[in-house]
Amino acid sequence: MSRYLKDDQIRKALNDEMEAVRLSEEQMERVIKRAQHVPWWEIELRIPWSAAAAALLLIAAIPIAGWLHLDRFEGEPSVLAQREKGQDSLIAMGGGLYLESELLEGWNDSDD
């Protein structure tokens, strides 16, 4: 019983303290009108789960599809691919990697 009286006393003290902070009817109406007018950039968007799941699936599927079809793309073989095939050897010089054939270009020709 004493706890109830104590809670009631606290509630009364808080109400007395907040009396000066309470808004008048006119102020309440003004606040409500301002709250109803929300700019378009502050509107909360609700995206359905199905649309979000479809978008995430599409975002994940595009790189996977590209990765699966990498062997169909044609182009110049990379330096490492040439080395694996035994076409040319790599030479590290001056902080860079060079193909042996590029470095020997013009030096293997005989000077007639």
Closest CA to 102 of 110, 112, 90, 111: 90
pLDDT tens profile 9-23: 898 888 888 888 888
Q: C-alpha 101: how far from its chain's center?
A: 44
* 52 vs 65 pLDDT, higher one: 52
The answer, as to whether pTM is greater than 0.75, is: no
Task: Provide CB contacts within 8 A for 23, sequence distance 6+.
Answer: 31
DSSP helix, strand, coil percent of the chain (3-state; round to 5): 60, 5, 30
pLDDT tens profile 64-105: 888 877 766 666 666 666 556 656 777 888 888 887 878 877
Q: Which pLDDT belongs to residue 111?
A: 53
Q: Check pLDDT > 70 for residue 39.
A: yes
Task: Provide CB contacts within 8 A for 79, sequence distance 6+.
Answer: 90, 97, 99
Q: Check pLDDT > 90 for residue 51.
A: yes
Q: Residue 54: which pLDDT band, with cuts at 50, 70 and 90?
A: very high
